[in-house]
Chain A
Amino acid sequence: MTMKIGTGDFKERVDQGIHDSFMRGAVAGAQERMGTRRNDAAEELGNWEDWRSHGEEIRQHVLEHLDYYLQQLSENIASRGGHVFFAQTGEEANQYIQDVVKRKNAKKVVKAKSMVTEEIALNDCLKQAGCEVIETDLGEYILQVDDHDPPSHIVVPALHKNKEQIRDVFAERLGYQKTSKPEELAGHARLKLREEFLSADIGITGCNFAVAETGSFSLVTNEGNADLVTALPKTQITVMGMERLVPTFEELEVLVSLLTRSAVGQKLTSYITVLTGPREEFDVDGPEEFHLVIVDNGRSQILGGEFQSILQCIRCAACINTCPVYRHVGGHSYGSIYSGPIGAVLSPLLGGYEDYKELPYASTLCGACTDVCPVKIPLHQLLHKHRQNIVENTGQAPISEKLAMKAFGLGAASPSLYKLGSKIAPAAMNPFTQGDKIKKGPGPLKAWTEIRDFPAPNKERFRDWYKNRDKGGNQ
């Protein structure tokens, strides 16, 4: 699997998404619950806006000094006996990892969930090297057992599957005989995966944040799988996107706090593990050999340009959990492992406009994503920039806005979706309003305004909208 998922074109994928009623219900329910949890976790702090501003300034600072911090990180890892490989491309990263695997004569690899290894299609390359690859995050494991069904959400990858489907897959593939109760399903996975952890030759993880000053890196999970992946196999390989680091432990804690609250509404997740180098001389567990692979894969081209702020992203999925379009069409419609607003901005940058030109149109530009982003990435403005670029490059939009709206099922059938979006629409829309009606909106609103006038966005905050949404806004 690469960053690209699914077959069929954009419209087909969206059609499938809209017609999968379990998926749509699951997504709506998930947004509801995760959104509420996130809101509570944020509000509980009392000074959430300051936290966001602090997260933003830390991430901006790191990007401005990325060369320095990567240099410092690599020195400190090497001085603790770890090996660092800088990979310009996904192929380079895969080649290096394949070499390690061959040198170790490894047959079995256990993995903890990592978006960047999906992005570079590492699993395929490991299999080519003759390795069995086992994903150990419960959601990823389920997808893997089901013939590598693609993930539909960056935090809850199997969100589109219900428990009966999971039971059937387990029964067919793993000889599972119990019920569809989540505890029993998880218990079975625990049993199966224990054996794998204990017999694996290599553990592979992603990296939530590396710490430049100490040469450390952190893993954030609830299941504890990353801990077993890094404690048991003799060799560990960690793959990180080159921007995923912080200067010191002091900034690490701020970003971890923002991540866990924004992603799952928890103060901290059950396991936050900070590892430094391979095991020490007399340590019994932990890897004997540690490799860190730092991946560019298109990121440096974003740096220094108009989309630089997207590299602030900490992959919390809050924007996804809040997006009315994601809610409507589900993760697979985006055709990328990065879905939702973050995916609509990032996928065209990493994968090119050719493959992802429709994604920037997968938005009502309502700005809800921007409002929740814990590191204040102006997501909806970046989407707008993409649209401008696409029009400038090709002289026309790749998909007429009207069609985009239709494709996303946002035709006249669901005006309430528009209404929800419009309530929180950014000030950018003001020039188009006449009185309290929008006459001629930008972007996809034009499609709408061709048909009828809509009430102009009021200044209602996203939070209020979210709270009131149940009262008939469930579209």
Chain B
Amino acid sequence: MKGTIQNREKFLNQISARLGHNDISNSIPQRSWKYHPQDEVLTDTSPDQLVEVLKTQCLKIHTSLLSANLDNLAATLDKIVTDYGGGPVVTWKDQRFSEWGLDRLMKDAWPKENIEVHEWDYTQGAENIRYAEKANIGITISEITLAESGTVVLLSDKDKGRTVSFLPACFIALIPKSSIVPRITQAARIIRQKHLDGHRVASCINFITGPSNSADIELDLVVGVHGPVKATYIIIDDI
């Protein structure tokens, strides 16, 4: 359904007049930039070097970073969940958990150990949010990972609720090694290209860099304000 637009003509006419434009042009303005500083940052860096950059950055953003391969991923994840004090756990509904061999852990082992797991299920509507609010841990998957800033990029959809990454006290992001790019520049280009190729932009794109924090009181850093208090990334060697 198309939304409404009100008061536009008068508003834009005034702007056009101030700018000395006769009317609003029909063609997209040419963007020809003289400067391209973003192309000089961390380009020509190998995937392994990018992992190193990411590791160093994680030290600065109060985030633990672990590496795993498909053989020990389940054990690694299990350990963090235990360290964080167990469930309840809320996760996206995502085929990849299963492809990475996590079904046994998430659907079998945890429930047996009384770690409650809720997988996002849009047919249950707002019930999902109540689970997320109660949850100790939220588990998501990074679509694009930014080495320079230590950022995971999450794209919302019906199976990937936004609140999985905000409401629980602890945040775990699984990072396929193949998703790591130098910086936000590459992510912006990927997202834009998808749009130009005719895909819908996700209603919510989250660039998340570590746990939530604030320096609003005497500029003292407090980790854990409205969002998660703790964060862990697990890089999965998929290349």
Task: Report A's interface with B, CB cutoff 8 A.
Answer: 26, 29-30, 33-34, 45-47, 50-51, 53-54, 57-58, 61, 64-72, 74-75, 77-88, 92, 96, 136-139, 142, 156-159, 162-163, 166, 182-183, 185-187, 189-190, 193-194, 197-198, 213-214, 216, 222-225, 227-228, 230-232, 242, 247-254, 256-257, 264, 266-286, 290, 294, 296, 300-301, 303-305
Give the size category of B's interface with A: 35 or more
B172 lies within 8 A of chain A by Cβ: no
Chain A residues within an 8 Å CB radius of B6: 83-86, 96
What is the chain B residue whose CB lies nearest that of A166? Answer: B217
Q: In the bound complex, do residue B207 and residue A300 qualify as a contact, i.e. CB atoms below 8 Å apart?
A: no
Q: In the bound complex, do residue A77 and residue B184 qualify as a contact, i.e. CB atoms below 8 Å apart?
A: no
B16 lies within 8 A of chain A by Cβ: yes
B65 lies within 8 A of chain A by Cβ: no
Chain B residues within an 8 Å CB radius of A77: 3
Q: In the bound complex, do residue B191 and residue A249 qualify as a contact, i.e. CB atoms below 8 Å apart?
A: yes
Q: In the bound complex, do residue A223 and residue B225 qualify as a contact, i.e. CB atoms below 8 Å apart?
A: yes
Q: In the bound complex, do residue A223 and residue B5 qualify as a contact, i.e. CB atoms below 8 Å apart?
A: no
> Within B168-184, which residues are at the interface with A (CB < 8 Å)?
184
Of the candidates A72, A82, A162, A303, the one whose C-beta lies within 8 Å of that of B18 is: A303
B140 to chain A, nearest CB (A): 13
| B16, B149, B202, B207 — most chain A CB neighbours (10 Å) | B207
B14 to chain A, nearest CB (A): 5
B19 lies within 8 A of chain A by Cβ: yes
- Given the contacts A61-B29, A250-B192, A300-B18, A278 and B203 also touching, CB distance less than 8 Å: yes
Q: In the bound complex, do residue B217 and residue A284 qualify as a contact, i.e. CB atoms below 8 Å apart?
A: no
B31 lies within 8 A of chain A by Cβ: yes
B132 to chain A, nearest CB (A): 8
A292 to chain B, nearest CB (A): 9
Chain A residues within an 8 Å CB radius of B10: 86, 88
- Given the contacts A26-B218, A45-B41, A81 and B2 also touching, CB distance less than 8 Å: yes
12 contacts between A and B (CB under 8 A): A33-B219, A70-B8, A84-B6, A158-B217, A186-B222, A222-B214, A231-B163, A271-B209, A272-B151, A273-B204, A274-B207, A285-B163
Chain A residues within an 8 Å CB radius of B82: none
Bound-state CA distance A284–B210 (Å) is: 24
What is the chain A residue whose CB lies nearest that of B205? Answer: A274
Bound-state CA distance A112–B239 (Å) is: 40
| B3, B7, B146, B215 — most chain A CB neighbours (10 Å) | B3
Q: In the bound complex, do residue B217 and residue A65 qualify as a contact, i.e. CB atoms below 8 Å apart?
A: no
Given pairs A78-B4, A273-B207, 13 additional interface contacts (CB within 8 A): A86-B11, A86-B12, A88-B14, A142-B216, A158-B216, A166-B217, A190-B225, A198-B133, A248-B192, A253-B38, A275-B203, A276-B202, A286-B204
Of the candidates A163, A271, A283, the one whose C-beta lies within 8 Å of that of B203 is: A283
Q: In the bound complex, do residue A83 and residue B192 qualify as a contact, i.e. CB atoms below 8 Å apart?
A: no
A interface footprint on B12-25 (CB within 8 Å = 1, 0 otherwise): 10111011110011
Bound-state CA distance A371–B162 (Å) is: 39
Chain B residues within an 8 Å CB radius of A75: 5
| A250, A283, A304 — most chain B CB neighbours (10 Å) | A283
A86 to chain B, nearest CB (A): 4
Task: Report B's interface with A, CB cutoff 8 A.
Answer: 1-8, 10-12, 14-16, 18-21, 24-25, 28-29, 31, 33-38, 40-41, 57, 61, 120, 122, 124-126, 128-129, 133, 146, 148-151, 156-158, 161-163, 166-167, 184-185, 187-189, 191-192, 195, 200-220, 222, 224-228
A220 to chain B, nearest CB (A): 9
Chain A residues within an 8 Å CB radius of B35: 50-51, 53-54, 57
Bound-state CA distance A47–B38 (Å) is: 9
| A26, A139, A254 — most chain B CB neighbours (10 Å) | A254
- Given the contacts A77-B3, A86-B8, A276-B201, A285 and B220 also touching, CB distance less than 8 Å: no
A1 to chain B, nearest CB (A): 18
Chain B residues within an 8 Å CB radius of A45: 37, 41
What is the chain A residue whose CB lies nearest that of B36? Answer: A54
Of the candidates B5, B57, B124, B148, the one whose C-beta lies within 8 Å of that of A84 is: B5
Bound-state CA distance A45–B37 (Å) is: 9
B152 to chain A, nearest CB (A): 11
Q: In the bound complex, do residue B188 and residue A253 qualify as a contact, i.e. CB atoms below 8 Å apart?
A: yes
What is the chain B residue whose CB lies nearest that of A294? Answer: B11
Bound-state CA distance A228–B133 (Å) is: 11
Bound-state CA distance A133–B38 (Å) is: 40
Q: In the bound complex, do residue A182 and residue B220 qualify as a contact, i.e. CB atoms below 8 Å apart?
A: yes
Q: In the bound complex, do residue B208 and residue A270 qualify as a contact, i.e. CB atoms below 8 Å apart?
A: yes
